[in-house]
Structure 1
């Protein structure tokens, strides 16, 4: 019978896992062709607004394969429940026998996304960070900021959200660990910050090319469907380096997809994250460069974090 691991157990276990290192290993496997990761399964909902993604795959010659179902329903806050939901399914790669059901309610998706953001900043953020900008006020906004502190620490933070009420609440929840400034616009965030993370489900660009100063690194995590967009396409054209977590996925979703559709950039400009982190020549080489990492979320991230939780759980 498959082991069932509940949310509280998962939260306790994941605290002791170096998730950034796990993501780095996973992306290297992915870009080196050592994984089987089919296209994302997707359900889009209108009433209420939401989406569900099915991501699945395996690392070749590994012990397991993983199927992940994760959703985001953006009116859930009105019901007093988180917008993110979901679960992870772990199977024996040699027999297909179910080994574990991780009832994570979307938590592991949130954590692996934040860890990928930290990994992106580790390799592409400028050496001297003036301030971190956070676009959005949800759980991903908070987790991205927390995970950035491991490799790219900075306590000066500018935040912009769609409503002042949400932004003030978010700033209060972050507490006294940070020096929080509330921006009136997303462009004001860009004026003060040279590391920016965008975390919203916006379908209209929030940051324009003219907003962003030289030397800025941007990690975009909100745009994971064809319809979402947080960055003006001209901004990707302006960037010196544009990184995709998955080049195949960037052809159907995310900021890169929109920029190519708008003919602002060509596919030749794109480098895959797992390739770039193995080659220093593909990383930031000076503090004047504008760098953008587009994270649409790849199944190998779910494989790595699910394996790590199950392995640690089984070792207890």
Structure 2
């Protein structure tokens, strides 16, 4: 009989897990060929607008394999429901028997994505961060800011949202912990920030090459399909360092996909995150470089967090 773990239990147990270290371990295993990660399954919905991603795979010689379904339906907040939904299924890699059903409602996907953003900052953000820029005001925007605190003491934040109301709520929710400034445009965010995280489902570029200060690091989280784009292709062309969480996935989705398709970025310029983590020469070497980490979300992240959650639950 599979163990069922509910969201409330998951929210409590996550406090005991070093998710950023788990993501680092997973990305290294992925880059080193120690995982099996098939292409992403995907369903796109128009009315209402939303999407569901199916990610699955396993780490070689491990105890488990994972199948994860995560969705984003962007009108959900109007109904009083989180835009993120989903669950994770953990199976025995030895027998195929279901081991655990994690009814996380998309929570673990949100957390592992934020942790990957913190990991990107750990290796690519400038040493001196003047301000953190956040593009977007939803769940992921808040989590990215909170998880960045593991690697920077910076409390100055510039945020842009699609509506003034969304930005005001973001500031209200987090303002006691941060010095938050509301920008009128994404460009204004970039003018004041040298560490930027983009977290929207935008299908048109929000940041352009001329907007970005020298020495800025950008973690792009929102573009996880072929249609989404938060960064202009010219911006990726300008970057000194371009990192993909998964080079195979970057050939069909994300910022890198769009820039290569537009003829602005040579594929050979792209470095995989797990490789760069292991080789300091592939990381930032001076404070004037512009770096971009494109996170499309990889199944190995789901494997690591699901396994850690179940192990913690058992203990």
Task: Place the TM-score, normalised by the shorter chain, in its bin.
Answer: over 0.9
Ranges in structure 1 where 5+ consecutive residues have no aligned partner: none
Which residue number corresponds to residue 292 of structure 2?
292
Which residue number corresponds to residue 77 of structure 1?
77
Give the secondary structure class of the aligned counterpart of 1:85. Answer: strand
Aligned counterparts, 1:68-217, within 5 A: 68-217=68-217
Give the secondary structure class of the aligned counterpart of 2:150. Answer: helix
**Given the two structures, how large is their TM-score scaled by the length of structure 2?**
1.00
Which residue number corresponds to residue 279 of structure 1?
279
Return the alpha-carbon distance in structure 2 between the equivalents of residues 285 and 177 of structure 1: 31
1:54 aligns with 2:61: no
1:42 aligns with 2:45: no
Q: Per-residue displacement from partner, 1:116-136 (whole Å, max 9, x unpaired)?
A: 000000000000000000000
**Given the two structures, how large is their TM-score scaled by the length of structure 1?**
0.99
Return the alpha-carbon distance in structure 2 between the equivalents of residues 152 and 215 of structure 1: 16
Which residue number corresponds to residue 3 of structure 1?
3
Return the alpha-carbon distance in structure 2 between the equivalents of residues 278 and 242 of structure 1: 16
Return the alpha-carbon distance in structure 1 between the equivalents of residues 244 and 44 of structure 2: 23
Q: Per-residue displacement from partner, 1:116-161 (whole Å, max 9, x unpaired)?
A: 0000000000000000000000000000000000012310000000
Q: Report the number of matched residues.
A: 315
Return the alpha-carbon distance in structure 2 between the equivalents of residues 219 and 185 of structure 1: 18
1:262 aligns with 2:255: no
RMSD: 0.4
Which residue number corresponds to residue 249 of structure 2?
249
Q: Per-residue displacement from partner, 1:148-179 (whole Å, max 9, x unpaired)?
A: 00012310000000000110011110031111
Which residue number corresponds to residue 314 of structure 1?
314
Runs of 4+ displaced beyond 6 Å: none
Deviates more, 1:170-179 or 1:306-315: 170-179
Return the alpha-carbon distance in structure 2 between the equivalents of residues 188 and 16 of structure 1: 38
